Amino acid sequence: MPINPADSPILGTLYGSDPARAIFDERAWFQHMLDVEAALARVQARLGIIPPDAAPAITAAARVENLDPAELAASVRNVGYPVVGVVKGLSRAAGPHGAWTHWGATTQDIMDTATVLQVRAGLALIDAELQAIITALSRQADTHRHTVMAGRTHLQHALPVTFGLKCATWLMPLKAHRERLAQLRPRVELVQFGGAAGTLASLGTQGLAVMQGLADELGLAAPAAPWHVARDGLAEAVSFLGLVCGSLSKLATDIILLCQNEVAEVSEPYVPGRGQSSTMPQKRNPIASEYILASARAVHALVPLMQGAMAQDHERATGPWQAEYLALPQAFVLTHGALAHARTIAEGMVVDPARMRRNLDLTGGLIVAEAVMMGLAPHLGRETAHHVVKHACDRALTAGGTLEDALMQEPEVTSRLDRAAIAAMTDPAAYLGATQQFIDRVLAQ
């Protein structure tokens, strides 16, 4: 029975995703180890290190079905690592040629390279989901570029913005994350092959040729030197996932706030029964946003584990390396699940422009007090204009009228502006600054 909900056939529908679980599944990891062993045999056969007919036999035998799970579990329990059991099963399946498996390699070479193959597939999955969300948010930003709403600071009305600008603000870091992903891939998608202590001494003068050949065979890059105890690449990958989850948390937090009954400007896509309560039939809880936040918190807790595991002793670590396997698969699975929830929101969010306008008008025009102050400043001076508008705002708040009506009672204002000019000055849609240019700049990135 799964202990982690992300691995559960039931709760796993909320945490993580099936595609990510398939990549980081234990069985898939063992298959990658076999793939590395087979690739190593092919390279060494070409270089004349092992007999040429050994490579086809080892490659044909390198199937996870040839491993006995019970035998492998017993080996891991005794040895502490799975590679001894993997090599034993592979060697047996390859028959007489099995004696040439794992030639010159060490346990960590196989495990690390197998992990890198998983990470490569995981990053491709993350990248595809990021692109889908970017596409959806770009469409929303353009569609709602003129949908005026209240901008809020400290959870209170501040100045008018547009919902398109809000979408562009959600969108901007996701575009940056795709750039980060492209930049980090060369630093993490590296073959690991260094032998017992990172010198490849067991292969004599052919060590570098085998390392490069293994990298080419697996479609990876070859590092300048083995990275057994230089774990920055994997730590960077999980740190990147933490950044992605942080940006998704911003989107989810805003959606949760916007869908409150008292605000009701944006809601998650409605599916009958989704987000319902067992006792309150009216409820439509923001489930996707809630699970984005939950997954993000879990990923953020795993980032320090990966970064802490970088403190590895001498040429092979005594514990930090093993800790990585507790964090890395979970971080990828949870991040992809959070992205899937975010994609659902981005593609299907329900926007209510009429409600946005009603909320915008709740304060009777006070949201454009800055606009009025800046409009009056050339006539009165900035300090006097601030004082006059503040007095009008206090009057409106006390009497319950509009800012326009309160301004009409200020002699300093009416001596210079008529009602039409004041009405134009208090129109929220007229005080949006560089909103359209900002949206265009984000979409053009």
Burial 109-135 (b: 16+ CB within 10 A, else e): bbbbbbbbbbbbbbbebbeebbebbbe
Q: Write the burial class of residue 142 (CB in 10 Å: 0-12 exposed, 13-18 middle, 19+ buried).
A: middle
- What is the token pair recorded at 103? 């030639």
Measure the N-to-C terminal CA separation of the chain; round to a whole number of Å.
46
Active-site choice (27, 202, 277, 416): 277
- The residue behind tokens 């208090």 is 426
Has 415 been annotated as catalytic?
no
Show the DSSP H helices in 205-280 as ranges: 207-218, 232-258
Has 247 been annotated as catalytic?
no
Active-site choice (46, 63, 152, 316): 316
Distance CA 268, CA 344 (A): 8
CA distances for 264 relative to 220, 254, 318, 359, 421, angstroms: 49, 12, 54, 9, 32
For residues 86 and 30, is the Cβ–Cβ distance under 8 A?
yes
CA distances for 253 relative to 170, 208, 293, 301, 340, angstroms: 11, 50, 8, 19, 16
Question: 3-state class of 190 per DSSP?
Answer: strand
Find, among 102, 119, 109, 90, the residue nearest to 28 by Cα: 119
Q: Which residues are catalytic?
A: 277, 316
